[in-house]
């Protein structure tokens, strides 16, 4: 099987984010970038399928040279091939990204394309479905269980009040949700191989970006806490404050 995983570099979830001087981007000084956590589930699922059914896994990303580090993480996990679609600008337009992927992936003859359900930096959940539309392939989103059959996939996804089971012919697109698997850690041997791996770099057809970040703002500061007493004796004062000051009752 030929499996392709689309991945993205994002700021580490433990990094303290500061807004840049332009108020439209983050200050990248001292920021560590990692593979998008949801993409880790997609990589792991592709590797599990490859180990069970044979074939090869290719990781693809859009970004500048720094994004090669994220591709090397995928290689250290076990991915065989890596492709970077060159783009030096940060793009928040899901359609532009999907078009860049489609221009490269469309000619690779994939049996299955996997992505994370969303990226943690913008959380748009758009790229997978848009890529499916551009490539004219079925797309199943937010998958928590996946089975590969004879020319088809059967996927489960959580919905309000239960679980939905969907079947689609291959090739198709899957976006991975937490719970699909437990991503493996890169091995020491994998890390050594990743350092020497060749990243295939391609020029991407990045269309005119139609989504622009106008301004970034930090969330409002929380108000100071007030202690009005202890135990049952504090209830009357708490009720008074909720009624007269907060005006919520």
pTM score of the predicted model: 0.86
Task: CATH number of the domain at 33, please.
Answer: 3.40.50.620
Q: Evaluate whether residue 49 is within a structural domain.
A: yes
What pairs with residue 37 in β-bridges? Answer: none
What's the pLDDT at 36?
95
Residue 150, both tokens? 């004879």
Q: Evaluate whether residue 74 is within a structural domain.
A: yes
Q: Evaluate whether residue 231 is within a structural domain.
A: no
Q: Evaluate whether residue 129 is within a structural domain.
A: yes
For 175, the domain range is: 2-203
pLDDT along the chain (249 residues), means of 10: 96 88 87 94 98 96 93 96 88 87 93 95 90 96 96 95 96 96 93 93 78 85 82 89 87
What's the pLDDT at 24?
86
Q: Which of 138, 141, 123 is nearest to 177 (CA)?
A: 141
Question: How many structural domains comprise the chain?
Answer: 1
Q: Evaluate whether residue 169 is within a structural domain.
A: yes
What's the pLDDT at 247?
86
Helix H, strand E, coil C: the string for the chain is CEEEEECCEEECCCCCCCECCCCCCECCCCCCEEECHHHHHHHHHHHHHHHHHCCEEEEEEEECHHHHHHHHHHHHHCCCEEEEEECCCCCCCHHHHHHHHHHHHCCCCCCEEEEECCCCCCCCCCHHHHHHHHHCCCEEEEEEEEEECCCEEEEEEEECCEEEEEEEECCEEEEECCCCCCCCCCCHHHHHHHHHCCCEEEECCCCCCCCCCCCCCCCCCCCCCCCCCCHHHHHHHHHHHHHHCCCCC
Residue 182, both tokens? 């437990």
What's the pLDDT at 205?
67
Q: Evaluate whether residue 233 is within a structural domain.
A: no
């Amino acid at each position: 099987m030929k499996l392709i995983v689309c991945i993205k570099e994002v700021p580490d979830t433990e990094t303290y984010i500061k807004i840049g001087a332009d108020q439209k981007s983050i200050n990248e000084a001292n920021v560590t970038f990692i593979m998008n956590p949801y993409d880790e589930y997609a990589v792991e699922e592709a590797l599990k399928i490859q180990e069970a059914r044979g074939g090869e896994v290719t990781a693809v990303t859009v970004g500048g040279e720094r994004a090669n580090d994220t591709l090397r993480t995928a290689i250290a996990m076990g991915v065989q091939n890596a492709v970077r679609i060159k783009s030096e600008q940060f793009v928040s337009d899901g359609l532009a990204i999907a078009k860049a992927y489609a221009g490269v992936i469309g000619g690779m003859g994939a049996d299955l394309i996997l992505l994370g359900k969303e990226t943690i930096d913008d959380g748009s959940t758009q790229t997978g479905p848009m890529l499916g539309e551009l490539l004219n392939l079925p797309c199943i989103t937010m998958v928590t269980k996946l089975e590969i059959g004879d020319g088809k996939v059967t996927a489960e996804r959580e919905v309000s009040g239960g679980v939905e089971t969907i079947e689609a012919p291959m090739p198709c697109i899957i976006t991975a949700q937490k719970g699909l698997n437990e991503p493996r850690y890169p091995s020491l041997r994998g890390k050594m191989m990743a350092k020497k791996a060749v990243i295939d770099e391609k020029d991407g057809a990045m269309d005119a970006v139609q989504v622009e970040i106008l301004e970034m703002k930090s969330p409002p500061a929380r108000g100071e806490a007030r202690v009005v007493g202890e135990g049952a004796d504090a209830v009357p004062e708490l009720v008074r404050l909720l009624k007269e000051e907060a005006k919520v009752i």
